[in-house]
């Protein structure tokens, strides 16, 4: 399958896919060196995999560690192995640079992602629940 590193001319289409993957987001990082795209036969990206190298990744032993930030395949192209090919490209990039692990995460409410990760060879490591407490400005009654 035609997976390749992203190029500057992919920017608008990849950013549009990122907005569909992360609709609550505002600013998406388009860093061609950390992006792979799957190119449609007629040209233009039909999916992407975005990754980074983090100082540490929760659930992984090595530091620093590459982290799969997200991947997306356009709906008309799904269930054809494109997502698998995109993730495999990230894995190969990491191996070529001596990394021994690839981290990833998803929200506990994302059932599809929770099901797909193990099919791609990821193993669950830990779960966490975040909490917050809203603080009123000093001197105001918290009510």
Which domains does the chain carry? Answer: 3-119 (3.40.630.30)
Find how far residue 40's CA is from the centre of its chain. Answer: 20
What is the Cα–Cα distance from 143 to 139, expressed in whole angstroms? 12
Q: In what order do the strands lie in the sheet with 103-104?
A: 3-5, 35-39, 45-54, 65-73, 103-104
Residuewise pLDDT in 10s, the chain (143 residues): 599 999 999 999 999 999 999 888 777 878 888 999 999 988 889 999 999 999 999 999 999 999 999 999 999 999 999 999 999 999 999 999 999 999 999 988 889 899 999 999 999 998 888 899 999 888 676 55
Q: How far separated are the first and last CA of the chain, in Å rounded?
A: 59
What is the Cα–Cα distance from 115 to 45, expressed in whole angstroms? 25
Residues forming beta bridges with residue 53, ordered by sequence position? 66
pTM: 0.85
């Amino acid at each position: 399958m035609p997976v390749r590193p992203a190029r500057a001319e992919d920017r608008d289409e990849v950013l549009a896919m990122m907005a569909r993957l992360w609709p609550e987001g505002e600013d998406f990082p388009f860093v061609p060196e950390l992006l792979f795209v799957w190119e449609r036969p007629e040209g233009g990206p039909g999916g992407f995999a975005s990754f980074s190298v983090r100082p540490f990744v929760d659930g992984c032993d090595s530091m620093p560690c590459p982290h799969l930030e997200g991947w997306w395949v356009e709906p008309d192209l799904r269930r054809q192995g494109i997502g698998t090919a995109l993730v495999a490209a990230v894995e190969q990039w990491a191996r070529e640079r001596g990394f021994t692990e690839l981290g990833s995460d998803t929200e506990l409410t994302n059932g599809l992602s929770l099901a797909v990760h193990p099919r791609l060879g990821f193993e669950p490591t830990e779960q966490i629940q975040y909490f917050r407490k809203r603080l009123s400005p000093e001197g105001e009654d918290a009510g």
